[in-house]
Amino acid sequence: MSMNELLARIERLDRTTLAAGGIVLSVILFLAVTIAANLSLGSARVDLTEDRLFTLSRGTYDVLAHIDEPLTIRFYQSKDAEKLGTFVSTQSKRVNELLKQYARLSGDKIKVERYDPQPFSPEEDLAVGDGLRGIAIGAESIQVYFGLAGVNSTDDVDAIPFLSPDRADFLEYDLTRMVYNLSHPEKPIVAVIGDLPLRGTQQNNFRPWVVLEQAQQLYDIRMMGGTVDLIPDDASILLLAQPMIKDEKTLYAIDQFVMRGGRVLAFVDPVAEILDVNMVPGRAPKQTAAADIDKLLASWGVSMTPDRVVGDRQLGRQVQATDKGRPIVAPYIAWITVEKQNMNANDVITAGIQRINLRSPGAIRPRPGATTRIEPIILTTPDVMEVLTGKVQTMPNVGDLLAEFQPTGQPMVLAARVTGPVKSAFPDGPPAAVEKEDIRAAHLKEGKTPLNLLLFGDADMLTDAVWVQVQSMMGQRSVSQIANNGDLFMAALDNLSGSEGLLGLRGRGLSLRPFVVLQQMEEDAQLRFRAKERELQKKIEDTQTKIEEMQQREQRGGVLLTAEQQKEIEKFRSDMLDLRQELRGVQRALRQDVERLGSWLRALNIWAVPLLVGLVAMALAGLRRARASRFQASIQH
Q: Looking at residue 417, what is its pLDDT?
A: 97
* Reported confidence tier of residue 624, pLDDT bands at 50, 70, 90: confident
Cα 194 to its chain centre, rounded Å, is 26
Q: Is 556 within the bounds of a domain?
A: yes
Same-domain check for residues 258 and 369: yes
Highest averaged pLDDT of the listed ranges 160-174, 480-494, 532-546, 597-611: 480-494
Residue 222 φ then ψ, to 5°: -125, 110
pLDDT in tens, 408-462: 999 999 999 999 999 999 999 999 999 999 999 999 999 999 999 999 999 999 9
pLDDT at 628 over 90: no
pLDDT in tens, 272-331: 988 865 444 444 455 577 788 999 999 999 999 999 999 999 999 988 877 666 677 788
Alpha carbon distance, N-terminus to C-terminus of the chain: 19
Q: Is 389 within the bounds of a domain?
A: no
Domain boundary among 137, 167, 183: 183
Same-domain check for residues 269 and 371: yes
Structural domains in the chain (count): 4
pLDDT in tens, 19-53: 666 677 777 877 777 676 665 554 555 555 554 55
Q: Looking at residue 500, what is its pLDDT?
A: 63
3-state secondary structure of 55: coil
CATH number of the domain within which 171 lies: 3.40.30.10
Helices (H), 155-284: 171-183, 210-218, 248-259
pTM: 0.64
3-state secondary structure of 5: helix
Rounded Cα–Cα distance for residues 164 and 13 (Å): 61
Domain boundary among 482, 508, 534: 508
Same-domain check for residues 437 and 367: yes
Same-domain check for residues 501 and 545: no
Q: Looking at residue 395, what is its pLDDT?
A: 80
Q: Looking at residue 512, what is its pLDDT?
A: 37
Q: Is 386 within the bounds of a domain?
A: no
Q: Looking at residue 44, what is its pLDDT?
A: 54
Same-domain check for residues 496 and 447: yes
Same-domain check for residues 590 and 611: yes
Rounded Cα–Cα distance for residues 19 and 15 (Å): 6
Q: What residue type is assigned to position 411 of the chain?
A: P
Q: Is 201 within the bounds of a domain?
A: yes
DSSP state of 434: -
Q: What residue type is assigned to position 525 of the chain?
A: A
- Give the number of other Cβ atoms within 10 Å of residue 365's Cβ: 16
Same-domain check for residues 86 and 29: no
Q: Looking at residue 98, what is its pLDDT?
A: 92
Q: Looking at residue 203, what is its pLDDT?
A: 80
Same-domain check for residues 457 and 526: no
Residue 480's DSSP bridge partners are: 469
Average pLDDT of 179-207? Answer: 89
Cβ(416)–Cβ(364) below 8 Å: yes
Q: Is 345 within the bounds of a domain?
A: no
Rounded Cα–Cα distance for residues 539 and 545 (Å): 10
Highest averaged pLDDT of the listed ranges 191-200, 498-507, 514-523: 191-200
pLDDT in tens, 10-20: 555 555 565 66
Q: Share the mean pLDDT of the chain.
A: 81
Q: Is 317 within the bounds of a domain?
A: no
Residues with Cβ within 8 Å of 325's Cβ and at least 6 positions away in sequence, in order, are none
pLDDT in tens, 47-77: 555 545 567 877 788 889 889 889 999 999 9
Highest averaged pLDDT of the listed ranges 218-232, 465-479, 583-597: 218-232
Same-domain check for residues 203 and 122: no
Cα 455 to its chain centre, rounded Å, is 14
Same-domain check for residues 93 and 221: no
Rounded Cα–Cα distance for residues 252 and 260 (Å): 12
Cβ(368)–Cβ(341) below 8 Å: no
- Give the number of other Cβ atoms within 10 Å of residue 277's Cβ: 11
Rounded Cα–Cα distance for residues 548 and 248 (Å): 59
Least confident range from 80-89, 312-321, 566-575: namely: 566-575
pLDDT in tens, 593-614: 656 666 776 676 666 667 777 7
* Reported confidence tier of residue 471, pLDDT bands at 50, 70, 90: confident
Distances in Å between the alpha carbon of 262 and those of 242, 423, 504?
Answer: 18, 14, 16
Same-domain check for residues 171 and 76: yes
3-state secondary structure of 103: helix
Q: Is 337 within the bounds of a domain?
A: no
Average pLDDT of 212-222? Answer: 89
Write out the H or E segment, with its range, that includes residue 419.
Answer: strand 413-420
Same-domain check for residues 615 and 630: yes
Q: What is the CA radius of gyration of the chain?
A: 33
Domain boundary among 158, 183, 208: 183
Domain range for 499 is 189-304+362-381+407-508
HSE of 616, CA atoms in CB hemisphere, 13 A:
6
Q: Is 330 within the bounds of a domain?
A: no
Rounded Cα–Cα distance for residues 173 and 160 (Å): 11
Rounded Cα–Cα distance for residues 245 and 192 (Å): 13
Rounded Cα–Cα distance for residues 148 and 152 (Å): 14
- Give the number of other Cβ atoms within 10 Å of residue 193's Cβ: 23
* Reported confidence tier of residue 473, pLDDT bands at 50, 70, 90: low
